[in-house]
Homo-oligomer: A and B are copies of this chain.
Amino acid sequence: MTVSNVVNRRFHLMSDATRARVEDAIASLGYRRRADGLSLRGSQRYAVAMVVVDPTPAFLADPFTTYLVAGLTNTLTARGYSLVLARTDLDRLGDAHFVRNRATDAICLMLSGPRAARARCLARVKDLGEPVVVFQERPSRWPEDVCAIRQDDRGAARALAKHVLGRGAQRLLVLVPGRAWPAIEARLRGFRDALREHGGRATLETLACGDEHYPETQAALDAWLRTHGLPDAILAGNDQMGIAALRELEARGVRVPGDVLITGFNAFEFWRYSMPRLLSARSPAYEMGAAAGEALLARLSEGAFPARERVFPVDLVPGDTA
């Protein structure tokens, strides 16, 4: 008992002599309290899971996920919590150790896949009975004890499309990944908002670019251009695809922004690497991860999330491609 009191810094419950004696013993034995005894007794696990639903093994390749996880990890660690990271397929959620066994106090979720499947997955995670933070999602049927954190993809996308329409573009091509992500859907909605508001005869087509990496994006765009000719503007779902498109047009001798306008999305560090630079929009992914951490810590100590939803603004960053 006294050891427990020492570990928990309740020094007023003991004499200086015993405290010293215990501290010496702890140091010389290299004693560390076992977290499982602690959790079992207190039924708090001091751990939060972050689950990324993505069939790709390289699920951390996108800086969005990376900064999100960094913000979350730093926030939780600073407050005495651990972050458990996992990737899973939509239908394999149950395989993870911390899903089969209750090992965390809460779960953060980054979903991908068709909307209905995402909703089912969220419902299943919710059924685990832990508080949930879901990123980039806008649940329709909103379960209790779920907090949604997202960036204003729709608004920023609308601003980007407005910009190219303002520069006279009529035929817009949107590049999207083969797999559905909620953020991409929101951006597409934003593009459409702008088109609608603009009136006129402007049109918008969508092109799926496989794994959204460089070679696949170029191959998809190449095939499209052969049959459709040049669009007036390419609205890329993210900078990765935007840069691939830029290089593809460059290789064909097409001038950007002279002949075709291009926009990107998210503006993480590597956005600086392409020349000319894409007109883009800056993602506050790190802040979103940190906010998720704060929200969870509040939920775990106060019993309720401070808010059911939190939306982060996304500012345009100037570029030379539009």
Contact residues of A with B, CB < 8 Å? 30, 32-40, 45-47, 57-61, 63, 66-67, 69-71, 73-74, 77-78, 80-88, 95-103, 127-129, 213-214, 240, 243-244, 247, 250, 269-270, 272-275, 286
Contacts and interface: CB of A to CB of B under 8 A. Distances in A.
When all copies of this chain in the complex are counted, the total is 2
A129 B30 contact: yes
Given A60-B70, A95-B77, A96-B77, A83 B82 contact: no
Given A96-B77, A273-B243, A35 B102 contact: yes
Given A273-B270, A274-B274, A40 B36 contact: yes
A78 B86 CA distance: 10
B87 A46 contact: no
A206 to B, nearest CB: 23
Contact of A39 (B36, B46, B78): B36
14 contacts: A34-B40, A34-B102, A37-B40, A38-B101, A40-B40, A46-B101, A47-B103, A57-B70, A60-B69, A60-B70, A61-B66, A83-B84, A243-B273, A250-B275
A77 B87 contact: yes
Contacts of A128: 30, 32
A100 B30 CA distance: 11
Contacts of A103: 34-36, 47, 82
Given A103-B82, A214-B269, A70 B61 contact: yes
A128 B269 CA distance: 37
A109 to B, nearest CB: 15
Given A83-B84, A87-B73, A97 B35 contact: yes
Given A69-B60, A96-B82, A101 B33 contact: yes
Contacts of A74: 57, 87
Nearest to A274: B273
Given A77-B88, A244-B272, 8 more contacts: A36-B37, A57-B71, A58-B70, A61-B269, A77-B97, A82-B97, A84-B85, A275-B275
A82 B73 contact: no
Contacts of A60: 60, 66-67, 69-70
Nearest to A41: B36
Q: Which 7 pairs of residues, A with B, have the shortest CB-CB distance?
A: A35-B103, A36-B39, A35-B101, A270-B270, A36-B36, A36-B40, A60-B66
Contact of A97 (B81, B86, B214, B244): B81
A1 to B, nearest CB: 18
A85 to B, nearest CB: 5
A80 B32 CA distance: 25
A231 to B, nearest CB: 22
Contact of A32 (B77, B84, B101): B101
Interface centre among A63, A70, A74, A96, by most chain B C-beta atoms within 10 angstroms, is A70
Contact of A286 (B40, B57, B69, B97): B57
